[in-house]
């Protein structure tokens, strides 16, 4: 059997990881270092001012309502979401929506760690969404806007009632700056810089509506809270978190890197332009999927397909007929070939997800690199299949 030759053109930037994600085009460490307050106290006026500027620019670019609070918190998106759950859940019933691994983790914490009395887990398989009509509007609702490990996203926020009694807790880490947010339907939203902004890890962003602030100031959960989870003191919101006085010591390198990314988004033309870049990347990849017989999008419903963390499954009968372990070994072999050629890095599916590939199409990726990648995917599949 003759094997296809390796393509001649490689992606200029072969980084397609879904987290940490690729840096913006033109990024340089020197440019970030020049604006970073390295070796300085984050409490000093200059560093604190930069933290506040990042908060303000984030709010402006995302169109966050003026009466919402935006803060920088520890431990990436995970820390931000856990902080919100531990500080606010338990005041009323809770519905946990699960369709991928991070949502599954939040539900496990709600049931096994927080031990919430009235907590329903509404679950769907990878690639699908749960029945959103089952959600109780008198309950708090926890969900991921974009399933980073499944490639399935909510198509819109219309299913959330305007007059809901509960709060909505939205893990939007792989959605913001690539997908619209309906702020009228959001009470708590979290994300990390390391996704669509291509920033560094370890820092989370927590956004609270006035209703969420009211919950924090009126409800005291019957559980101990670690210091890094505490958002109130003496029954009042700790406002410093939302003005640049972080709970613990942030990396001023990471802060400067985020400022660099936010400036880039602004230079593009704002979030609308960032959305358009992600949409164009996804469209280029999906067009290849549509004309290729060995692969399909893991998400069958087009409206529910992520434009950032795009998850693909191999449907070629020879490979699809293998057991799960063998299928994962096959995709690992494909990924190893691509990395060896420096044509693509870090595109294997998430460890808990079905066997397949996961390709980041967020705004920091150039569409030309997606287009250069797809012939290499065909080559890697053909050469790996020849070894079966």
Q: Give the pair of three-digit tokens for residue 75.
A: 């431990």
56 and 120 share a domain?
Answer: yes
Name the DSSP letter for residue 357.
E
234 and 275 share a domain?
Answer: no
Q: What is the three-class DSSP state of 69? A: strand
| CATH number of the domain to which 331 belongs | 3.90.1150.10
240 and 357 share a domain?
Answer: no
The residues, any chain, with a CB within 8 Å of residue 10's CB and separated by 6 or more, are 341, 342, 343, 372, 376
242 and 285 share a domain?
Answer: no
Peptide bond into 20 cis (omega under 30): yes
Q: Average pLDDT, whole number, for the chain?
A: 97
Q: What is the three-class DSSP state of 14? A: coil
161 and 40 share a domain?
Answer: yes
Angle between helices 252-268 and 271-290 (to 10 degrees): 80
pLDDT value at residue 1:
56
Give domain status of residue 4, yes or no: no
82 pLDDT band (50/70/90 cuts)?
very high
244 and 305 share a domain?
Answer: no
CA angle 342, 343, 345 (to 5 degrees): 75
The percentage of residues in the chain with a pLDDT greater than 70, rounded to a whole number, is: 100
pLDDT value at residue 56:
98
Q: Rounded CA gap, 337 and 152, in Å?
A: 27
The percentage of residues in the chain with a pLDDT greater than 90, rounded to a whole number, is: 99
Give domain status of residue 359, yes or no: yes
pLDDT value at residue 170:
98
Interval 134-146: pLDDT, tens: 999 999 999 999 9
Interval 310-323: pLDDT, tens: 999 999 999 999 99
48 and 165 share a domain?
Answer: yes
State which residues form the domain around 316: 271-386
254 and 351 share a domain?
Answer: no
pLDDT value at residue 4:
82
What count of other Cβ atoms lies within 10 Å of the Cβ of residue 244?
22
Give domain status of residue 188, yes or no: yes
Closest CA to 205 of 62, 20, 87, 77: 77
168 and 234 share a domain?
Answer: yes
Last residue of a domain, one of 236, 266, 296: 266
Q: What is the three-class DSSP state of 212? A: helix
DSSP 76-113: HHHHHHHHHHHHHTTSS-EEEEESSHHHHHHHHIIIII
Give domain status of residue 196, yes or no: yes
**231 to 83, 212, 215, 240, 263: CA distances (angstroms):** 8, 11, 11, 10, 29
| CATH number of the domain to which 89 belongs | 3.40.640.10
Mean pLDDT confidence for 165-174: 98
64 pLDDT band (50/70/90 cuts)?
very high
Interval 335-346: pLDDT, tens: 999 999 999 999
Structural contact between residues 124 and 98, judged by C-beta atoms closer than 8 angstroms? yes
Phi-psi bin for 280: left (phi > 0), alpha (psi -120 to 50), beta? alpha
Give domain status of residue 337, yes or no: yes
Q: Give the pair of three-digit tokens for residue 291.
A: 């004309």
pLDDT value at residue 371:
98
Structural contact between residues 364 and 24, judged by C-beta atoms closer than 8 angstroms? yes
Mean pLDDT confidence for 255-280: 98
Q: Give the pair of three-digit tokens for residue 269.
A: 């033309």
What phi and psi values does residue 32 have, to the nearest 5 degrees? -70, -45
pLDDT greater than 90 at residue 149: yes
127 and 256 share a domain?
Answer: yes
Give domain status of residue 122, yes or no: yes
239 and 298 share a domain?
Answer: no
pLDDT greater than 60 at residue 121: yes
Q: What is the rounded end-to-end Cα distance, in angstroms, of the chain? A: 12
287 pLDDT band (50/70/90 cuts)?
very high
Give domain status of residue 160, yes or no: yes
Last residue of a domain, one of 223, 239, 266: 266
Structural contact between residues 298 and 356, judged by C-beta atoms closer than 8 angstroms? yes
Give domain status of residue 57, yes or no: yes
Q: Which residue has the tokens 């020049």?
A: 34
Last residue of a domain, one of 213, 244, 266: 266
104 and 209 share a domain?
Answer: yes
pLDDT value at residue 3:
79
Mean pLDDT confidence for 147-169: 98
Q: Give the pair of three-digit tokens for residue 221.
A: 């959960």
| Structural domains counted in the chain | 2
The total number of residues shown for the chain amounts to: 388
Q: What is the three-class DSSP state of 339? A: helix
E strand map for 231-274: 232-233, 236-237
Q: What is the three-class DSSP state of 59? A: helix
pLDDT greater than 70 at residue 163: yes
361 pLDDT band (50/70/90 cuts)?
very high
Interval 191-236: pLDDT, tens: 999 999 999 999 999 999 999 999 999 999 999 999 999 999 999 9
């Amino acid at each position: 059997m003759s094997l296809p030759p390796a393509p001649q053109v490689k992606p200029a930037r072969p980084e397609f990881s879904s987290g940490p994600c690729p840096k913006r085009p033109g990024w340089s460490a020197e440019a970030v270092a020049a604006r970073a307050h390295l070796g300085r106290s984050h409490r000093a006026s200059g560093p604190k001012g930069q933290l506040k500027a990042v908060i303000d620019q984030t709010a402006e670019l995302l169109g966050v309502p003026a009466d919402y609070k935006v803060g920088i918190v520890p431990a990436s998106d995970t820390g931000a979401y856990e902080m919100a759950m531990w500080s606010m859940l338990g005041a009323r019933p809770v519905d946990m929506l699960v369709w991928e691994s991070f949502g599954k983790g939040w539900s496990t914490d709600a049931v096994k760690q927080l031990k919430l009395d009235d907590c329903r887990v509404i679950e769907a398989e990878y690639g699908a969404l749960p029945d959103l009509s089952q959600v109780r509007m008198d309950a708090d609702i926890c969900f991921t806007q974009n399933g980073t490990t499944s490639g399935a996203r909510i198509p819109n926020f219309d299913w959330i009632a305007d007059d809901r009694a509960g709060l909505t807790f939205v893990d939007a880490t792989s959605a913001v700056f690539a997908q619209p947010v309906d702020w009228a339907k959001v009470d708590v939203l979290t994300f990390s810089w390391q996704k669509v902004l291509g920033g560094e890890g370890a820092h989370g962003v927590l956004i609270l509506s006035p209703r969420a602030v009211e919950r924090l100031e009126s409800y005291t959960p019957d559980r101990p809270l670690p210091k890094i989870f505490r958002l109130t003191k003496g029954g009042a919101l700790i406002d410093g978190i939302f003005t640049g006085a972080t709970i613990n010591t942030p990396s001023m390198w990471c802060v400067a890197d985020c400022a660099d990314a936010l400036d880039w988004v602004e230079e593009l033309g704002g979030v609308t332009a960032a959305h358009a870049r992600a949409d164009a990347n996804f469209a280029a990849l999906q067009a290849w999927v549509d004309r290729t017989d060995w692969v399909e999008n893991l998400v069958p419903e087009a409206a529910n397909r992520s434009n950032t963390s795009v998850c693909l499954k191999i449907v070629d009968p020879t490979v699809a007929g293998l057991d799960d372990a063998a299928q994962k070994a096959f995709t690992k072999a494909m990924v190893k070939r691509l990395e060896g050629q420096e044509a693509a890095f870090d595109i294997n599916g998430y460890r808990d997800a079905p066997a397949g590939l996961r390709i980041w199409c967020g705004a920091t990726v150039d569409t030309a690199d997606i287009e250069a990648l797809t012939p290499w995917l065909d080559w890697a599949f053909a050469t790996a299949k020849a070894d079966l």
